[in-house]
């Protein structure tokens, strides 16, 4: 068994692993750039290769995507399709074919894509969540340690 402290450490580690993600709108014109998201170990050691791609938001601003990400496609009828990595998006100019690790390919006219979004790690929110979670865990450990200390009889000191 892990015990109380091991369980607490495991829960904190799992919460830190999940991270905080935002859905970022991407211009459908840049859809084919979304293919091939990855973050994979290279060789032996702690080296990780991470794919980085710059895509345009619908308002024209650039956004940098890195590592593994998922995509969400909303068609003009309001139907939402979620695709998890690995992502593949193919374009023949007028049609887009989306596929991912969780579903069969989806073929749509480019004009039928009402919204295209990509999950992007929010590093600031993730760091804050880890910091707050760690402080709470330390506070809990200290509090439980004081509760577990033997009580001193009234009037005696050690």
| Model pLDDT for residues 10-64, shown as the tens digit of each residue | 665 665 556 677 899 999 999 999 988 777 777 777 777 788 899 999 999 999 9
Alpha helix stretches (DSSP H) within the chain: 3-18, 123-148
pLDDT at res. 146: 76
Task: Please state the pTM of the whole predicted model.
Answer: 0.67
Place of tokens 């345009």: 56
The whole-angstrom separation of Cα 71 and Cα 88 is: 10
Q: Is residue 88 very low, low, confident or very high in pLDDT (cuts 50, 70, 90)?
A: very high
Backbone phi and psi for residue 46, each to the nearest 5 degrees, phi listed first:
-105, 30
Place of tokens 């015990």: 3
Q: What is the pLDDT of residue 149?
A: 75
Between 138 and 81, whose confidence is greater?
Answer: 81
Tell me if 42 sits within 8 A of 48, measured CB to CB.
Answer: yes
Residue 79 has what pLDDT?
97
- Give yes or no for residue 1 having a pLDDT over 60: no
What is the radius of gyration, based on Cα positions, of the chain? Answer: 23
Percent of all residues in the chain with a pLDDT value above 90, rounded to a whole number = 41
């Amino acid at each position: 068994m892990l015990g109380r402290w091991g369980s607490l450490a495991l829960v904190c580690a799992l919460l830190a692993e999940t991270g905080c993600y935002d859905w970022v709108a991407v211009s459908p014109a840049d859809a084919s750039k979304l293919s091939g998201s990855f973050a994979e170990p290279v060789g032996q050691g702690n080296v990780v290769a991470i794919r980085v791609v710059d895509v345009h938001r619908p308002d024209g601003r650039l956004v940098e995507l890195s590592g593994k990400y998922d995509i969400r496609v909303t068609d003009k009828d309001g139907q939402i399709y979620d695709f998890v990595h690995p992502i593949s998006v193919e374009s023949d100019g007028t049609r887009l074919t989306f596929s991912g690790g969780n579903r069969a390919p989806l073929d749509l006219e480019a004009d039928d894509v009402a919204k295209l979004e990509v999950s992007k790690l929010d590093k600031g929110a993730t760091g804050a969540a880890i910091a707050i979670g760690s402080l709470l865990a330390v506070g809990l450990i200290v509090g439980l340690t004081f509760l577990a200390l033997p009580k001193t009889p009234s009037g005696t000191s050690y």
